[in-house]
Amino acid sequence: MPEKVKTRVLFHSKCLNIYLVRYPEGHSVGRHVDMVSEGPLYKLNWVLAKPGAGGEFICEKTMFNLFGRLYLFRPDLYEHRVSTIERGNRWLLSFALTPG
């Protein structure tokens, strides 16, 4: 059984949250849409460290994708997932913005 995902909240406010996330070997994130209570949700995800194999981010539609390292997308509108991490860890810095 793979290790658990470790998430550290670096900043939390009404409209901006910043997380540092470690996805371990063997982990994947199934296809989903993020639920929000109201308004739009934007995420800017910066992949700090890619795993040796696997762990690819797949999204129906991104607003911005820089070399597979920096993604801006609407997780409340478009399905997204991460393929199984076959070797190593995936480190992510995630900025979640809910403008109000």
CB 21, CB 6: distance < 8 Å: yes
- The predicted pLDDT at position 40 comes to 95
**Residue 100 scores a pLDDT above 90:** no
φ, ψ at 23 (rounded to 5°): -100, 120
pTM across the whole model: 0.92
Question: What fold characterizes domain 6-97?
Answer: Jelly Rolls (2.60.120)
DSSP for 69-86, please give it: TEEEE-TTTS-EEE--EE
Mean pLDDT over the full length of the chain? 95
Handedness of CA 43, 59, 25, 88 (dihedral sign): negative
Domain ranges of the chain: 6-97
**Residue 3 scores a pLDDT above 90:** no
**Residue 19 scores a pLDDT above 80:** yes
